[in-house]
Structure 1
Amino acid sequence: MNLLNTLTKKAPWLNRYATMYIAWVIVFLSFSSASILVVLSNATAVSCAFWRVFLASLMLWSARLLRGGVRGFSALNRATAYSILAGLFLAIHFLLWMESLFLVPVAVSTTVVVTYPLLSVLIDRIVFKENLYPLQIVGLVAGFIGVFLFMQPWVLGAYNSYGVLLSFGGAIAAACYFSLGRSIRRGASLTGYTLPAYTSASVFLLVYALVSGEELINYPLQAYLCFILLALIPMVGGHTLVNYMLRYVKTSVATSIALAEPIGASILAYFILNQQLDLSKVLVMTITLSSIAAVIIQEVRSKSELT
């Protein structure tokens, strides 16, 4: 994230708007690969979730130590406590969503899980007392209709509708995670938030794995390669950049790149996993993603987003 700040300082024409667009492109490319890597790992959902956040934590802690140790970190305070709570929601998000990838196609799972900007608008309304506009209400209703349609046999076919519920549960957890992040990032540095959040998420997932008896270690080399890529690309290159943007824009705007994730993931799933898309799935995907777009467009129109 220092790289983006450095680019802005060295190139005056590269203002914060341009920096945000660069970040969005990187996040899109990063997020699109996540579901593919999970499926290719042939590991359990909890293993993919644990290694993703644990290795990402190691990478960020290593970078922090190389830059001057842990100065700036204080004892447990309100921001740290909220960061740990955010880590719990992050762990739940990954666990539910990754499990859904083994029950429904990548296109369906990613489209449902990216409804979290819709839920973020509701949270922003309740917590931050922000306005909810008519277009956003229409978008919310249409988005939830899209999720309901995904559970219908004529759309899912032989797949398990439980996977849709898991993915939607992952969306709820993601909305809570990002909304907490927005609140925390108003007064905390990027690493001051992400380090306790990612570290606590890995601890929560480790405890869950131990209690449930899930295997975390005995996997082939291909699985560990996928774990490393999950930590490096969608976690550090995706989630961490979104957390960077939360300091400057609303939650729903920072997470708006989610709109493109199902498209990128579906294309990759077609070529790599040989997952086909029929007309019914494309239709419901269009309804759901259009509803999210309507909500975000209204957010942008309501007022200037960058501070």
Structure 2
Amino acid sequence: MHVAALGIAVIAVSSSAPLIAYAAAPALAIAFWRNMLAVGVLGPYAAARRRDELRALVRGDQRTEGRYSVLAGAALAVHFGTWVPSAQLTSVASATALVATQPVWQGLIALGQGRRLRPVTWVGIGIAVAGAVLATGADFGTSGRALAGDLLALVGGLAGAVYTALGERARAAISTTAYTLVCYAVCAAALLAVCLVGGVRLAGFDRSTWLAILGLVAGAQLLGHSMFSYALRKVSATTVSLLILLEVPGSALIAWAWLDQLPRAASVPGLALVVAGVAVVVLGGARAPRREPEAPL
């Protein structure tokens, strides 16, 4: 079940950067709406099926998990608030590859938590991240706009690692629905505040842009991030972060087919290294041993 969830999540998140690049809307507005609309989808189900659990997160015996969920939402807001703009400032491939440095940050977080990663995990991370950089030829000097996009994508990768690490802690004892609802709601609220303070336009977009935003909600948000959150019950945050690297070749293929952003021939070896690095970790047994009973959806 978790393998299928991860496969669906990788395919879903691969559509994220091309959709963001296509949408004719401010980046922060896109980030807000993908979270707010996801809350609208999850809210009724959670209210009907997870009411007691949500109460426990606020004032019951699961307040610790509630705090982790809130902090994860704040980290997710930073992730979206930096990476989504990066996809509009630089190329889809560059933004995706640089945000894919997340496994490096995730490994460092794991070390800070006192965990010892297996050597094969570091080898796989190194291969995959090197492939991500090689695949895009991410340059830091072509223009000020591209440089800003590159730096924002790097910050997005760090924030994504923090989000995943906090989610791993929260998901140890609560359902995917309760966790994602709290996380997305906090993220949406934080992004709304930033948009209001910054005077970011939140409405008045054309039909194709709204369709792109709805595509982000259905795909990258609900089938992507939510399925990764579901898998965190059985799969380590480091492994999940590494699997997200498969978004690099996935996004490049979608951008090629849809936006006519043809990958450079020189990027093909890099894309192959991304896949190889993921395979090294997964086949080398990077899955964290967990014996807890599976939490409900």
Give the TM-score category using the shorter length. Answer: 0.7 to 0.9
| CA drift at 1:225 | 1.6
* Unpaired segments ≥5 residues, structure 2: 293-297
Matching residue's letter, 1:203? A
Check the 8 A contact 1:64/1:70 in 2, yes or no. yes
Check the 8 A contact 1:100/1:166 in 2, yes or no. yes
SS in 2 for 1:56: helix
**Matches of 1:126 and 1:299 in 2, distance apart?**
21
Query: Which residue of 1 is the match for residue 39 of structure 2?
Result: 57
Structure 1 position 130 matched with structure 2 position 112: no
Check the 8 A contact 1:115/1:292 in 2, yes or no. no
Query: Which residue of 2 is the match for residue 120 of structure 1?
Result: 106
Moved more, 48-57 or 158-167: 158-167
Structure 1 position 173 matched with structure 2 position 154: no
Please list the CA deviations of residues 75-119 of structure 1 after superposition, one character each: whole Å capped at 9, or x if unmatched.
252221221111011111112111111122212211221231232
Check the 8 A contact 2:140/2:150 in 1, yes or no. no
Query: Which residue of 2 is the match for residue 264 of structure 1?
Result: 250
Query: Which residue of 1 is the match for residue 227 of structure 2?
Result: 241
* Unpaired segments ≥5 residues, structure 1: 1-18
Please list the CA deviations of residues 205-234 of structure 1 after superposition, one character each: whole Å capped at 9, or x if unmatched.
000101111111121222222212211111
* RMSD (CA atoms): 2.7
**Matches of 1:290 and 1:248 in 2, distance apart?**
23
Change (3 A) 1:140 1:260: closer
Check the 8 A contact 1:30/1:238 in 2, yes or no. yes
Change (3 A) 1:306 1:40: farther
Q: 1:164 aligns with which of 138, 143, 150?
A: 150
TM norm structure 2: 0.85
Matching residue's letter, 2:34? R
| CA drift at 1:236 | 0.7
| CA drift at 1:153 | 6.3
**Matches of 2:8 and 2:96 in 1, distance apart?**
18
Change (3 A) 1:160 1:48: same
Change (3 A) 1:56 1:237: same
Change (3 A) 1:101 1:247: same
Query: Which residue of 1 is the match for residue 295 of structure 2?
Result: none
Change (3 A) 1:210 1:85: same
Q: 1:205 aligns with which of 191, 194, 207?
A: 191
SS in 2 for 1:217: coil
SS in 2 for 1:73: helix
Change (3 A) 1:166 1:280: farther
**Matches of 2:186 and 2:230 in 1, distance apart?**
19
**Matches of 1:112 and 1:292 in 2, distance apart?**
16
Alignment map for 1:51-200 (pairs within 5 Å): 51-65=33-47, 67-68=48-49, 70-74=51-55, 75-76=58-59, 77-127=63-113, 129-139=114-124, 150-152=137-139, 160-200=146-186
Structure 1 position 37 matched with structure 2 position 24: no
Q: How many residues align?
A: 285
Check the 8 A contact 2:195/2:201 in 1, yes or no. yes
TM norm structure 1: 0.82
SS in 1 for 2:90: coil
SS in 1 for 2:286: helix
**Matches of 1:233 and 1:89 in 2, distance apart?**
20
